[in-house]
Amino acid sequence: MKTAKPGIKLMNKGRLTGWWFIAIAVIMIAAFYFYPMIQALLLSFKTGKGANLHFTGLDNYKRLFSDRTFLAAVKNTFIYLIIQVPVMIVLAMFISVLLNDSKLKFKGFFRTAIFLPCVTSLVAYSIVFKYLFGADGLVNMLLTKLHLISAPIQWITDPFWAKVTIIIAITWRWTGYNMIFYLSALQNIDNSIYEAARIDGASAVRQFFSITVPLLKPIILFTSITSTIGTLQLFDEIVNITKGGPGNATMSISQYIYNLSFKYSPDFGYAATVSYSIVIMIVILSIVQFKAAGDK
């Protein structure tokens, strides 16, 4: 009777140990991530109060198309998405190119300063922005002293300027986050490519559009998708700066989900339906971005 070789036994034991190490993580992810997702999906097909939930099929999903508050929240969220995400990505790319210059002094300081907003508290920075952009806040005070405006701008209470305030806030916070990805990618580009381009007489602008942008394509796609997901889930800034007002003019989809669950008469079934509408939007927009990038 043949016995297993010591090397094979040791290898099998090592594999078993590896499975034990990841088993806890797999169980935790399944219990606290995938299980709630499945339960939320099942909940989206139900309606009712408390424990008196009953199956209603696709009624909740049909309700979305006639829900004016939901449609307003979708409109607001897509305004943030269409304006803020491109501006943030272009700004992050531009800053990363500047900070990647070998001749620039104090690069570490500038990188830290631009990335610092990403690690600040969401609630804290939102409250600071609310006071900065108040009718008698610092922003209006500076604009008045510079004679750029004659009367205070109602940054928080005017529907248009409230959206502008939200866009400025999330751009300030997340530009540095995306900058880190571009900066890391730029440092992996062989400098000899730029040297060859300079020898051929290519200007800095031509180098940027003909070398930098094409080589950053995977990172541009990645940051576009992650920024899209983050914007569709926008919540903290809306709640703490404008509270969705004035008159739902800045309400996001995530805030509407919160209101359905905890502020209005609780309707967890419909709230789950609105939650899964975000999932559907993310999937569709991710596919569109992959197709636009030309990646399979």
Which pLDDT does position 52 carry in this prediction?
77
The whole-angstrom separation of Cα 171 and Cα 88 is: 6
Which pLDDT does position 188 carry in this prediction?
87
Residue 204: helix, strand or coil by DSSP? helix
The whole-angstrom separation of Cα 33 and Cα 54 is: 24
Six-digit token string for 72: 């307003």
User: In this structure, are residues 257 and 275 in contact, taking their beta carbons and an 8 Å threshold?
Assistant: yes
- For residue 55, the cross-strand partners are 46
Which pLDDT does position 272 carry in this prediction?
92
> Could you give phi then psi for residue 46, rounded to 5 degrees?
-120, 165
Tell me the angle at which helices 68-99 and 217-232 cross, rounded to the nearest 10 degrees: 150
Which pLDDT does position 1 carry in this prediction?
47
Which pLDDT does position 5 carry in this prediction?
58
Which pLDDT does position 264 carry in this prediction?
80
Which pLDDT does position 296 carry in this prediction?
54
What is the mean pLDDT, run by run of 10 residues, along the chain of 296 residues? 54 70 86 88 84 84 93 95 94 91 84 89 91 92 92 92 95 93 90 87 87 90 92 92 90 94 85 93 90 70
Tell me the angle at which helices 68-99 and 268-293 cross, rounded to the nearest 10 degrees: 40
Q: What is the pLDDT of residues 44-103, one digit of tens each?
A: 998 877 667 888 888 999 999 999 999 999 999 999 999 999 999 999 999 998 888 878
The whole-angstrom separation of Cα 135 and Cα 132 is: 9
Amino acid letter for position 93? M
- pTM of the predicted protein model: 0.86
User: In this structure, are residues 71 and 157 in contact, taking their beta carbons and an 8 Å threshold?
Assistant: no
